[in-house]
């Protein structure tokens, strides 16, 4: 999965079967910027989302709130191209090393969704908004 264009590999059923899907058919999926190492997002994948992610070479998640596949960047353009995909020891979490289009992963217009830091007993928004969300999500 090192090419610039997907689809790269169509995943086998065996590959998907080796993942320990939870009772809702999901696993946690962490996206990390492959250059900076910054953790960008934590989202969810079901079997179909992983299948499509591997096939396209881009992150596709399962939106628990919208109850549908969520092709990351489908509205914002902020696609996550998968550079490397890893599975953890319990096979119930995935790590995606990604190239983050636009350098913005968060719907608030920030680089990372983890923009709040614990400081003096409070969650403090420490990271700058790089782009006004109203300019990202035009309807």
Nearest to its own copies of 21, 115 (CB atom) = 115
Q: Give least dist CB 139 to its own copies, A.
A: 20
Torsion sign across C-alpha atoms 58, 62, 67, 73? negative
With beta carbons less than 8 A apart as the criterion, state whether 58 and 1 touch.
Answer: no
Name the CA dihedral angle for 109, 81, 40, 96, rounded to a multiple of 10 degrees. Answer: 160
3 state SS of 124: strand
- Contact residues toward its own copies (CB under 8 A) are 1, 9, 11-12, 14-15, 18, 28, 30, 32, 36-39, 41-42, 54, 84-90, 93, 95, 106-108, 110, 113-118, 120-123
Q: Give least dist CB 120 to its own copies, A.
A: 8
Q: Give least dist CB 57 to its own copies, A.
A: 11
Nearest to its own copies of 29, 79 (CB atom) = 29
């Amino acid at each position: 999965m090192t090419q610039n264009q997907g689809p790269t590999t169509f995943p086998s059923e065996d590959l998907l079967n080796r993942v320990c899907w939870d009772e809702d058919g999901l696993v946690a999926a962490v996206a990390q910027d492959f250059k900076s190492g910054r953790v960008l997002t934590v989202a969810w994948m079901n079997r179909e989302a992983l299948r499509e992610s591997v096939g396209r070479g881009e992150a596709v998640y399962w939106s628990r709130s919208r109850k549908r596949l969520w092709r990351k960047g489908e509205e914002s353009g902020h696609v996550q191209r998968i550079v490397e995909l890893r599975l953890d020891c319990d096979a119930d979490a995935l790590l995606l090393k990604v190239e983050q289009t636009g350098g913005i992963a968060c719907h608030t217009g920030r680089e990372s969704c983890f923009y709040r830091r614990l400081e003096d007993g409070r969650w403090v928004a420490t990271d700058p908004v790089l782009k006004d969300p109203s300019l990202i999500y035009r309807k």
